[in-house]
């Protein structure tokens, strides 16, 4: 994620800012990738703290307009959880916009989001035919840690959920192309295999003993659809970590140049090499404070090949190149 110029004063602005350090209201323009000091602001600004501009006064911004179903705010903590969930959505949409996904120049279908609060039973997150369903309850840190531990996951965040579920939608978009499915099946396997049976087998018996040789996560081993979604999410993790590192003005001998743009990098091997070098260093820093690794995953050869495949398609897919 970039660090942004302040249009009305000194000091930088960060992606989630609603105001400058001096208290002057600002809003983010995702098309210009810049902050503006003038309305129209998103209609959700006062409700959930959305800091994006809108096309007209009283209208939703580009991100909030994608939410077709908002949570029942009468449920406990639904409103603050929704606010955090929408913030994660804006972050991921802006990441993908660097590759032209879901911007005006993208001729394809946009995702539709169902943001659901949880009552007595959990919400099943997922994607179907362009609709992404998200449980806003996952924004609660205690619930998220409880589920992460129950599922033995090393990483679980709202941004991670957004990247994973939107990745399913991206697969659906790409599957409409004539040249995608054969290439996908050669790398990930045949997604036409029984999805429900594969997930049940995964939850009953766990991953295969050699899963680390072939997959990034245990969940990726359950079915080609989940392998794609996990791999695409990880490509976005690694690209955004690297982009944020550069934007923060940090340096490393692995960087091709001080102003290198990871989203513009055409060589996936170079991108992955730089990202892995950086996360190893950041993991080491986190350990000095007794914190978990920022990126607690191993990238063996098969996983790298899958990351390169996803990189190729996400960089060219939105505009059909």
d(CA 87, CA 17): 11
pLDDT digits (tens, 9 = 90+) for 215-231: 999 999 999 999 999 99
One domain, residues 68 and 83 = yes
One domain, residues 212 and 312 = yes
Q: How many domains does the chain have?
A: 3
The domain containing residue 211 runs over which residues? 177-321
Q: How confident is the model at residue 139 (pLDDT cuts 50, 70, 90)?
A: confident
- Backbone torsions φ then ψ of 4, nearest 5 degrees: -110, 150
One domain, residues 54 and 194 = no
One domain, residues 84 and 35 = no
pTM of the predicted protein model: 0.93
One domain, residues 125 and 78 = yes
One domain, residues 200 and 318 = yes
Q: Which helix H or strand E contains 134, and what residues bound it? A: strand 131-135
One domain, residues 16 and 149 = no
The domain boundary, picked from 61, 76, 101, lies at 61
Checking if the pLDDT of 102 tops 70, the result is yes
Choose from 119-123, 176-180, 203-207, 242-246 the range with maximum mean pLDDT: 242-246
The domain boundary, picked from 130, 160, 176, lies at 176
Checking if the pLDDT of 309 tops 80, the result is yes
One domain, residues 8 and 40 = yes
The domain boundary, picked from 23, 43, 61, lies at 61
Checking if the pLDDT of 258 tops 90, the result is no
One domain, residues 57 and 143 = no
CA distances from 189 to 192, 221, 227 (A): 9, 11, 9
One domain, residues 72 and 172 = yes
One domain, residues 251 and 166 = no
Q: How confident is the model at residue 143 (pLDDT cuts 50, 70, 90)?
A: confident
Using only C-alpha atoms, the chain has a radius of gyration, in whole angstroms, of 20
d(CA 317, CA 177): 9
ω into 120 cis (within 30 of 0): no
Q: What is the pLDDT of residue 321?
A: 60
Average pLDDT (121-132) is 90
Tell me which residue has tokens 């990238």: 299
One domain, residues 116 and 236 = no
Q: Which residues pair with 113 in a beta bridge?
A: 67, 132
pLDDT digits (tens, 9 = 90+) for 157-201: 999 999 999 999 999 999 998 899 999 999 999 999 999 999 999
């Amino acid at each position: 994620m970039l660090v942004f110029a302040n249009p009305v004063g000194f000091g930088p602005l960060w992606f989630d800012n609603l105001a400058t350090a001096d208290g002057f209201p600002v809003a983010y323009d995702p098309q210009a990738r810049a902050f503006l000091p003038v309305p129209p602001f998103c209609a959700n600004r006062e409700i959930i703290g959305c800091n994006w501009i809108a096309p007209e006064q009283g209208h939703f911004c580009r991100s909030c307009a994608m939410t077709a179903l908002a949570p029942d705010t009468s449920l406990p903590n639904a409103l603050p959880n929704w606010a955090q969930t929408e913030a994660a959505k804006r972050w991921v949409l802006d990441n993908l916009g660097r590759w032209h996904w879901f911007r005006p120049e993208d001729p394809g279908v946009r995702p539709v989001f169902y943001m659901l609060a949880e009552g007595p039973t959990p919400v099943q997150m997922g994607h179907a035919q362009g609709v992404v369903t998200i449980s806003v309850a996952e924004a609660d840190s205690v619930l998220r840690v409880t589920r992460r531990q129950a599922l033995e996951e090393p990483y679980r965040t709202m941004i991670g959920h957004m990247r994973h579920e939107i990745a399913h939608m991206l697969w659906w978009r790409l599957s409409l192309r004539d040249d995608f499915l054969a290439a996908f099946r050669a790398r990930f396997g045949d997604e036409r295999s029984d999805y429900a049976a594969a997930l049940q087998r995964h939850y009953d018996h766990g991953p295969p003993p050699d899963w680390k040789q072939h997959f990034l996560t245990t969940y990726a081993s359950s079915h080609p659809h989940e392998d794609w979604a996990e791999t695409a999410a990880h490509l976005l993790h690694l690209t955004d970590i690297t982009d944020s590192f550069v934007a923060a003005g940090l340096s490393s001998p692995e960087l091709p140049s001080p102003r290198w743009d990871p989203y513009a990098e055409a060589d996936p091997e170079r991108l992955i090499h730089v990202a892995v070098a950086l996360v190893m260093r950041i993991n080491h820093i986190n350990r000095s404070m007794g914190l978990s690794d920022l990126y607690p995953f191993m990238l063996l050869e098969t996983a790298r090949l899958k990351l390169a495949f996803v990189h190729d398609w996400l960089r060219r897919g939105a505009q059909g190149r």
